[in-house]
Amino acid sequence: MAALPISAHPDTGRGKGPYTVLGTLDGEDESGACGIPVPERRFIARSADGHHTMLVSVPLPGTDTDRFLAEATASRHLLGPWASPAAELAADGTDSWHARPYLPALSLPAALRAHNGPLPERTVRALGAALLVTLVVGHGQGLAHAGVSPGAVLLGVRGPRLTCFGAVRAAAEDGTPRSGLPGLESGSLPPEQADGGRPRPLGDLYALGATLAYAATGHTVPERREIPPSLRDILTRCLARDPANRPAPAELLDVLSPLPDTGGSAAADGIPAAEPSDAVSVQERAAVLLTSDWLPGSLVAALARQSARVLTTSLPNRPADPRG
């Protein structure tokens, strides 16, 4: 069965900042993406002149809008092709929202639904490498993502986009237990963050491990034997309860995107090198996996259908008369 490219939503036709909602990226119920929690509501929306179609995020009802906007502001510092920084956001004292230009995208849960099951290993590896590199670049800037979950990952034609920056921090301040808070998917919430600990880079490794396990099996807490053999050990290690037992990013990258030759360890001086070789940048190691066939055909077709549908969706409640 094909995933709904975009769904109608009670908010259709309402304004989010300067944009009018065309539909939601996720399901019309409030339970997130195909039943998987998402820490924000995501709409496809368009400017009144029709020329700008955006992916607009708003906080879940009843959550703290100040914390939501603070994380959106911080997300503007994210770099790299697979990050999803807010391009615009609400001014103080107005409804809370942030937005970036729309591109055809399926959330990871919607992708599994469109594909009728877990994704192929090549897709999981490419996805994992791109998300990992995005996280590592953020870590280099002192930014822990704290919001990696299946619902936060969008798959596009040329690569993923990692959204929901700071969702864990936004859900509750450090020191407050976060288990079971709305929008947080329990399997990808690192135990130390669930207990109220400050999100740190190794927490992102846990959440990434759970998210990749979801992509490969359909569950964020899979049985070990469900995971493809070549990823079994490393993903299990990502999911270690003790952050100290989780792998370094470089180890995970070596498994997801092995270097062609025997990966010589060039990590001199005990630097936590995110890359074992100077010759190939980490970004390239993710990019080489994002070949033009990194997505299964069913997902490319679903993205093309979504694109076609958004192209032909008109702004609601507008007079047919041109140029007003």
Q: How far apart are CB 259 and other proteins at their closest, in Å?
A: 13
| Residue closer to other proteins (CB basis): 155 or 184 | 155
| Alpha helix positions (H), 50-120 | 65-75, 108-115
| Secondary structure (3-state) at 303 | helix
Please work out the total of residues on this chain that contact other proteins, with binding judged by CB under 8 A. Answer: 80
Q: How far apart are CB 152 and other proteins at their closest, in Å?
A: 16
| Residue closer to other proteins (CB basis): 73 or 236 | 73
Comparing CA positions, the residue from 119, 152, 162, 115 lying closest to residue 302 is 115
Binding test (CB under 8 A) with other proteins, winner from 12, 24, 53, 211: 53
Q: How far apart are CB 49 and other proteins at their closest, in Å?
A: 6
- Tell me: does residue 47 bind other proteins (CB under 8 A): yes
- Tell me: does residue 51 bind other proteins (CB under 8 A): yes
Q: How far apart are CB 46 and other proteins at their closest, in Å?
A: 5
For 36, the token pair is 């998987």
Binding test (CB under 8 A) with other proteins, winner from 29, 30, 233, 301: 301
- Tell me: does residue 46 bind other proteins (CB under 8 A): yes
- Tell me: does residue 145 bind other proteins (CB under 8 A): no
Binding test (CB under 8 A) with other proteins, winner from 10, 265, 281, 288: 281
Q: How far apart are CB 91 and other proteins at their closest, in Å?
A: 4
Dihedral sign, Cα of residue 67, residue 70, residue 75, residue 77:
negative
For 153, the token pair is 């990952």
* Interface map 96-115 toward other proteins (x if CB under 8 A): ----xxxxx-----------
Q: How far apart are CB 293 and other proteins at their closest, in Å?
A: 4
Find where tokens 């919001």 sit.
147
What is the C-alpha to C-alpha distance for residues 55 and 183, in angstroms, rounded to an integer?
Answer: 18
- Tell me: does residue 269 bind other proteins (CB under 8 A): yes
3-state helix, strand, coil in the chain (%, to 5): 35, 15, 50
Q: Calculate the alpha carbon distances from 313 to 37, 42, 265 in Å.
A: 27, 17, 53
Q: How far apart are CB 109 and other proteins at their closest, in Å?
A: 20
Q: How far apart are CB 84 and other proteins at their closest, in Å?
A: 10
CB 44 within 8 A of CB 53: yes
Q: How far apart are CB 171 and other proteins at their closest, in Å?
A: 23
| Secondary structure (3-state) at 251 | helix
Q: Calculate the alpha carbon distances from 139 to 3, 22, 307 in Å.
A: 34, 35, 33
Binding test (CB under 8 A) with other proteins, winner from 6, 25, 56, 303: 303
Binding test (CB under 8 A) with other proteins, winner from 38, 58, 287, 289: 287
- Tell me: does residue 288 bind other proteins (CB under 8 A): no
Dihedral angle, C-alpha 53, 66, 146, 156, nearest 10 °: 0
* Interface map 182-221 toward other proteins (x if CB under 8 A): ----------------------------------------
Q: Which of residues 9-28 bind other proteins (CB under 8 A)?
A: 17-18
Q: What angle do CA 11, 14, 20 make, to 5 degrees?
A: 115
Exposure string for 249-262, b = 16+ CB within 10 A, e = fewer: bbebbbbbbeeeee
* Interface map 55-94 toward other proteins (x if CB under 8 A): ------------------x--xx-xxxx--xxxxxxxx-x
What is the C-alpha to C-alpha distance for residues 267 and 284, in angstroms, rounded to an integer?
Answer: 18
